[in-house]
Structure 1
Amino acid sequence: MSGSPEIEELPATQTGPKGVIHDWRKFKLESEDHESIPPNKRELLRQMSNPRSNNDNTQEKIGRKMSVHEYEMIQEEDEACLRKYRKQCMQEMHGRLSFGPKFDAVFELDSGEAFLDVIEKEHRLTVVVVHIYDDGIAGCDALNNSLTCLAAEYSTVKFCRIRASATGAGERFSDDVLPTLLVYKAGELLGNFLCFTKHLNEEFFATDVENFLNEYGLLPGKEIAACPDEEENTDVD
């Protein structure tokens, strides 16, 4: 119908064991440096990544001849490339299942109006964490650093900070209640933690803040993309 909004189609991805193998072969072919692949191996990869053929007999012959070659090629596959492919697939899957905007930093709010805007106008599915701080207050710097780390791991959460004097309600956020951590979603206050450091040890880190917020169920699932790269944790023989 004219006037109906167009729906953007997601790239088609084959499913099932054979589909996954074909997608992997195609990824391998596209990601390899073509100059470093022998012509016969490159052609074999091309055939393996495109199983359709107008000639069924020819396709069957290719299938029979490829069995040994394919086994040898699988043995030679670069494990780092395979891990990269798996990670890309996980990221694409997560992207299709995730909703709402994404963030990767702590946002500095410079006024009470900006403070209200981030609470009231942010996407309804977005969790907003606001740190109210001031210079020279114990724990404020450590909490700022912790939120910076968490912002890199929870891209669907909007982490913000604002000086107490910039809120327009400085009398409500005196030094004895700082640092204060507020958590909102869809304009609703979910968490109100005055003098947040009283809930933690004298010396704390991002994992401590993360665990505390998780105890109250205030953080969504951690992003797949934020998991440490497998290349850094897996030794290749």
Structure 2
Amino acid sequence: MSGSTENEELPATQTGHKGVIHDWRRFKLESEDHDSIPPNKRELLRQMSNPKSRNEDKQEKVNRKMSMQEYEMIQEEDENCLRNYRKQCMQEMHERLSFGPTFDTVFELESGEAFLEVIEKEHCLTLVVVHIYDDGIKGCDALNNCLTCLAAEYPSVKFCRIRASATGAGERFSDDVLPTLLVYKAGELLGNFMCVTKHMNEEFFATDVENFLNEYGLLPEKEFAACPDEVENADVE
């Protein structure tokens, strides 16, 4: 059959990368006159003869790289939000389930009734440390100062103090047994230390009182009680 080159059907082409290159070369050799090339071949030849410039490819890679950077930034922000959320959940869990209420000061008990109430009605998970003291007794002021420091480091422990004369049982707490430390939990007496300063050096500090109580296992782990920043980096599965 006769007919113009324009009406000829496009020969079957090879597939794949090498096939496209072979077709392009064949189109170029077959057609010396650009106008005689069929439109479909002409378009293919144009596309194959004018690939993207290196600058365009480079710009495309930059754009792709920027997109990846943006994705990584978003991912990092999500991880920070998740970490903060986990920290908040950990703190709430410790407060509500593990350690009950939290405190940050030493409470002054004004009467024997207040003394009994803090022992019997405090949260069952709360450790209560009561310092029975009196004015002018050696070691009492120093111990009060030490408990003030420990109250800040152990917020899950309720530190209290009461004058011996205010307990309603002053005869039991004479000067020779002061200062006295009593430790309770859920209404149960865990520790009864009379003249506690005898177990320490003449000059003692909060760490000495802390070590003394820890010898009897009467203080919680400081890292949980104080809720340190290490919790932020902890992995929660």
The answer to whether the 8 Å contact 1:153/1:223 transfers is no
Listed as ranges, the matches of 1:92-171 within 5 Å are 92-98=89-95, 99=97, 100-171=100-171
1:170 to 1:70, Cα distance in 2 relative to 1, 3 A: same
How high is the TM-score relative to the length of structure 1? 0.60
Structure-2 separation of matches of 1:200 and 1:147: 15
Give the distance between the partners of 2:134 and 2:170, measured in 1 at CA.
10
Distance change (3 Å), C-alpha of 1:87 and 1:172:
farther
> Does the residue aligned with 1:102 lie in a helix, a strand or coil?
coil
Between the aligned residues of both structures, percent identity stands at 74
Where does 1:1-237 land on structure 2 (aligned, <5 Å)?
65-69=66-70, 89-90=86-87, 92-98=89-95, 99=97, 100-224=100-224, 226=226
* Larger displacement relative to structure 2 (153-162 or 96-105): 96-105
Letter of the structure 1 residue corresponding to residue 67 of structure 2: M
Judged with a 3 Å threshold, the aligned counterparts in structure 2 of structure 1 residues 225 and 163 are, in CA distance, closer, same or farther, namely closer
C-alpha distance in 2 between matches for 1:69 and 1:225: 39
Q: Give the match's secondary structure for 1:129.
A: strand
Counterpart CA distance in 2 for 1:133 and 1:97 is 32
Q: How many residue pairs are counted as aligned between the two chains?
A: 163
> 2: distance between equivalents of 1:102 and 1:228?
14
Q: Which runs of 4+ in 1 moved over 2 A?
A: 62-75, 85-92, 223-230
RMSD, matched Cα: 3.1
Which digits, 9 at most, give the CA deviation of each residue in 1:156-193, with x for residues without a partner?
Answer: 11100000000011111011100000000111110000
Query: What is the TM-score when the length of structure 2 is the normalising length?
Result: 0.60
* Contact kept in structure 2, 1:110 and 1:162, CA below 8 Å: yes
Q: Distance in 1 between matches of 2:145 and 2:136?
A: 15
The letter of the residue matching 2:123 is H
Counterpart of 1:26 in structure 2 is: none
> d(CA) in 1 for partners of 2:140 and 2:204?
11
1:13-48 CA-partner distances (Å, limit 9, x unpaired): xxxxxxxxxxxxxxxxxxxxxxxxxxxxxxxxxxxx
User: 1:177 corresponds to which letter in structure 2?
Assistant: V
Change beyond 3 A, Cα 1:93–1:113: same
Structure with max Cα Rg: 2
| Alpha-carbon distance in structure 1 between the residues aligned to 2:135 and 2:186 | 30
Deviation at 1:226, TM superposition (A): 3.1
**AA partner of residue 126 (structure 2):** T
- Cα gap change, 1:214/1:91 in structure 2, threshold over 3 Å: closer, same or farther? farther
Change in Cα spacing, 1:111 to 1:181, as seen in structure 2 (3 Å) is same
Classify 1:207/1:66 alpha carbon distance in 2 versus 1 (closer, same or farther; 3 Å).
farther
Distance 1:201 1:63, change over 3 A: farther
Whole-angstrom distance in 1 between the partners of 2:150 and 2:216: 16
**SS of aligned partner of 1:128:** strand
How many Å separate the matches in 1 of 2:103 and 2:135?
A: 25
Is contact 1:103–1:151 with CA below 8 Å preserved after alignment? yes
